[in-house]
Amino acid sequence: MLNEILELMEERERRVILRAIRSTGDLDLVGTLRFSRRALDVGPELVRRGVLVDTRMAREGLGGLGEYIEPTSRKHRYLAHDIVESWRDRLEGKAVLIGTSPLVLERLLDLIREGVRPALIIGVPVGFVNALHAKYRLTKQTDVEYITNISVKGGVALGVSIVRALMEIE
């Protein structure tokens, strides 16, 4: 049954989903992974140029491609807000991977509403608190290309596997 569903998908989408399933063991990704209209067109080139990430773990998973910026000071109640603020001057035209914190994704979506334009968001934070809402909100905005999963599941391993799959697409 899984093979029949996968055969109906576009080749690039299928490759990303299969890589994600192999990395996470989550067969539900066949039905929960969502791609914006042009994410697979722009994603491969964008991730090859580097990816802003929300954790050191994601940076390590991506090797030289991941860029984690340690906030230089704490100005907000939540570290997530400080992380996004540390990205502010680097977001234009960049790929961003959020694999841990739904608050980082929520704050990034607020900046998009203010006019900041990363080029691609891979938004797959994990958790029962705010993760599903943040991902749903990501799918409703139309200014930035995205890849997400509509589920409380997610995490760094999923995000890194998506980036790695994009790198393999010509």
pLDDT, tens only, 2-32:
778 778 889 999 999 999 999 999 999 999 9
Contact 106, 127 (CB under 8 A): no
Three-class SS state of 145: strand
CB contact at 8 A, 124 and 150: no
- Predicted local distance difference test score (pLDDT) of residue 4: 80
Q: Is the pLDDT of residue 115 over 90?
A: yes
DSSP, collapsed to helix, strand or coil, labels residue 147 as strand
The residue type of 157 is A
Residue 155 has pLDDT above 90, yes or no: yes
User: pLDDT (tens digit, 9 = 90+) per residue, 91-100?
Assistant: 999 999 999 9
Neighbours of 14 (CB within 10 A): 15
Domain interval for residue 122: 2-168
Q: Are strands 51-53 and 66-67 parallel, antiparallel or unpaired?
A: parallel
Looking at the 3D structure of the chain, how many domains does it have?
Answer: 1
Assigned token pair, 134: 């943040």
Residue 137, domain CATH: 3.40.50.10230
Q: Are strands 120-123 and 95-98 parallel, antiparallel or unpaired?
A: parallel
The H or E element containing residue 149 is strand 145-149
